[in-house]
Chains A and B, each alone.
Chain A
Amino acid sequence: MKRTFGWTLAALGIGLLAGAAGNAHHSFTQFDRDVELVQTGTVVRWAFNNPHSWLYINVADDAGAETLWSFEGSAPVSLIGRGITGATFEPGDTVTFMYCPMVDGRPGGHLGWARLGDGTFVNPSDGGCNGNAANIERWQEWLEEGFTSNTEAVAATR
């Protein structure tokens, strides 16, 4: 099912964000929402749970050593409206994703967008990071230019 998501569906789903974002039961002070970073890793678990979803991903460093990273997303009730279900990410999938890091530097953050294995983008974000359509469009250009940080990308385009 997850492989059937196309850009159009994703965009439509993202459009629903305006009415559904920010389901959080908590503040987002633990995330640096000014910083957007991109990583690629292997899905360990997609916990499509209330009050928030969590995507757990193994990310390998240059030496190949893996670290488990944890990323918060929005609630299922919001994500279903964007075409995201409990089967969108499956263990073993390779996913590239943008996130806003935890301010204390631990291996985690808040999800922005995610690019699935077939190249489609989905928006699992809540108020802790910006994964909306406009930001995905912006990031698609930055990804083509090889950027993995919004600050670097902005610096280069000024």
Chain B
Amino acid sequence: MKAISVRARAGAVMCVLVFAPRLADAQFGAGFGPPLVNAPPPMEFETSAEHYAYLLEQAGGGTTHTFETLPRWDGLWQTAGNTAMDAFVDAPRFEGQVREGVLTPEYEAAYKERWREQIELGQVQYDRLTHCEPPGYPRFLLEPYTHEFVNLPHMSYQINDFDSSIRRVHIDQEHQNVTGTHSWYGDTIGFWDGDRLVTHTVDLLPVDFTRWAPMTSNQFESVEVWELHSYPDGTERLEVQVTFYDSYAFVKPVHAVYAYRRATGLEDAGYRVIHWECELSNNAYMDAEGGTDYRLPGDEGYVDPRGFTLFPELPGQSRDPIYNTTLGDD
């Protein structure tokens, strides 16, 4: 074996570093079609409710669609980039500094620590999804698993393959909260303005935009405008212009655009969304130092996603019926 020099190790590290920013930047589908353009509302609103009411008034109360006239967005979609981080970090992304004055002092300080991990350590040390929290909203918008958008006259269903998350947009209705608390996807109402879907989301649990982005509070709300765009080069992209409101986290509302493209390649390959959950298929956890670690087969607490049910003595209780494998400790 040849001796391993410090220089050689530095070279290997350099290889990794060269690829890391590109991968991280590309992982939510950026680069598909023309550059995304933020289209914030024509004026600032104090609250999301005012913003939504303004858009509803501008739309003359909205468009009443039937099954025959509704925009069809069903099928599989993949993320096609977003501009959310541009609001919080000065360019170049993954090398820039946290932009001051966007977040409130408490949230800015918390985010600077998160960003410090990203920059200095190469990655944020722990992600709350590791222990199977749902993405929640707004993270739902960028999760890079598949999405589905099913429009019905009274409801639009927005589905994210990650842990089978579903948002429901109640068309031409008022907000309701009979549970008396907030939830991962909150309560969303909406109306159609021609082929554009306008939504208003409230009553959310505190989450984050993603692992390396700011945290949100339980006062986070949004107004979205969804529209399918077709560009001269043939690009078809479902874009959502979003204004985020958060009285705890933001000094003033933040605007971003998210996009999706049809996942025709996946459909051609026969991919179908199947229900899955995280509890029975995940062995990642937070270690004593607040970092991320794994339980491997044989470790205490290891969960075998393809093991047996609570009734292994019964025939047909394996979750691996095709190959019927074991890992030695099954």
Interface, chain A (partner B; CB < 8 A): 16-30, 33-36, 44-47, 49-52, 54, 56, 68, 70, 72, 75-78, 80-81, 83, 90-91, 102, 104, 106-108, 127, 130, 132, 134-135, 149-152, 154-156, 158
Contact = CB atoms under 8 A, between A and B. Distances in A.
Nearest to A149: B4
Nearest to A150: B12
Contacts of A70: 294, 296-297
B314 interface: no
A56 B297 CA distance: 9
A107 B125 CA distance: 21
Contact of B291 (A27, A49, A106): A27
B305 interface: yes
B327 A49 contact: no
Interface size class of B (residues with CB under 8 A): 35 or more
B23 interface: yes
Contact of A27 (B20, B29, B123, B298): B123
Please name the 3 residue pairs, one residue from A and one from B, whose CB atoms are nearest each other, closest first: A22-B27, A155-B8, A25-B129
B278 interface: yes
B162 A34 contact: no
Given A47-B305, A49-B306, A81-B265, A30 B24 contact: no
Given A56-B327, A102-B294, A152-B1, A36 B12 contact: yes
A155 B297 contact: no
B34 to A, nearest CB: 16
B307 to A, nearest CB: 10
Contacts of B328: 68
29 contacts: A16-B265, A18-B26, A18-B31, A20-B144, A21-B23, A21-B26, A25-B162, A26-B292, A27-B126, A29-B121, A34-B9, A34-B13, A45-B306, A47-B305, A49-B281, A51-B278, A51-B281, A56-B325, A78-B144, A81-B265, A83-B269, A102-B294, A127-B23, A132-B19, A150-B15, A152-B1, A152-B8, A154-B9, A155-B2
Interface string B257-286: 000000001100111000010100110100
Contacts of A75: 145
Contacts, number: 175
B327 A44 contact: yes
B320 interface: yes
A36 B11 CA distance: 12
Contact of B3 (A16, A21, A35, A155): A155
Contacts of B311: none
A151 B8 contact: yes
Main secondary structure of the interface of B (DSSP, over half): loop
A90 B323 contact: yes
Given A45-B327, A47-B305, A51-B282, A27 B211 contact: yes
Contacts of B271: 76-77, 80
A68 B327 contact: yes
A83 to B, nearest CB: 8
A47 B281 CA distance: 10
